[in-house]
């Protein structure tokens, strides 16, 4: 399967899962997983920065359209996409990674978890701060950021574990 087709399918799958399944989840009134950020996480390490930003915007914009959230997902994904090329070398030691996707195999377990944890937290902090539109109750906003980040982190780690097991076969 061609790379463009594979990424297009991955894009479509995370958007559909987010819109039709995960947006309806709300654990204890605080935590909703936002796994669509997994698409940004898994793009090749050496992707062109302009393409990364365009894909980040398109992902957030499509989520915004279907969730009736004017621009907040787009802003959060573009910011995450903007920071991603700087986070990878800051959090992970790589020898060479041309056309390679971030993964546990490529980064190692702890660096990969650190990478996804930081990117998820940054994305969610911006998204949920924008969503609250104020810091009227900063403890509730902080609780939502932490709860949503943890929920998303666990789901993405589980999905990554499934791909690791799939590749070992």
Q: What is the mean pLDDT of residues 101-113?
A: 91
Do residues 15 and 61 lie in contact, with contact meaning Cβ atoms separated by under 8 Å? no
Neighbours of 74 (CB within 10 A): 20
Q: What is the pLDDT of residue 19?
A: 94
Per-residue pLDDT reduced to its tens digit, 114-131: 999 999 999 999 999 998
What is the spatial distance between Cα 81 and Cα 52, in angstroms, rounded to a whole number? Answer: 6
Neighbours of 160 (CB within 10 A): 21
Q: What is the mean pLDDT of the chain?
A: 90
Banded pLDDT at 137 (limits 50, 70, 90): confident
Q: What is the pLDDT of residue 79?
A: 98
Q: What is the pLDDT of residue 27?
A: 80
Of the candidates 31, 71, 33, 39, the one whose C-alpha atom is nearest the C-alpha of residue 56 is 39
Of the candidates 3, 43, 22, 33, the one whose C-alpha atom is nearest the C-alpha of residue 144 is 33
Q: Which residues, 6+ apart, have CB-to-CB distance to 38 below 8 Å?
A: 14, 156, 159
Banded pLDDT at 26 (limits 50, 70, 90): confident
């Amino acid at each position: 399967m061609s790379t463009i087709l594979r990424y297009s399918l991955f894009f479509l799958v995370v958007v559909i899962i987010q819109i039709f399944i995960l947006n309806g989840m709300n654990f204890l009134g605080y935590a909703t997983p936002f796994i669509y950020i997994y698409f940004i996480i898994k793009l090749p390490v050496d992707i062109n920065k302009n393409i990364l930003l365009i894909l980040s915007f398109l992902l957030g914009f499509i989520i915004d359209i279907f969730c009736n959230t004017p621009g907040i997902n787009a802003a959060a994904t573009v910011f995450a996409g903007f920071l991603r090329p700087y986070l990878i070398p800051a959090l992970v030691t790589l020898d060479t990674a041309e056309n390679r996707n971030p993964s546990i195999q490529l980064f190692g377990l702890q660096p990969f978890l650190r990478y996804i944890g930081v990117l998820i937290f940054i994305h969610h902090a911006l998204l949920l701060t924008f969503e609250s539109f104020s810091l009227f109750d900063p403890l509730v906003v902080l609780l939502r950021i932490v709860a949503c980040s943890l929920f998303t982190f666990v789901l993405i780690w589980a999905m990554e574990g499934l791909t690791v097991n799939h590749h070992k076969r």
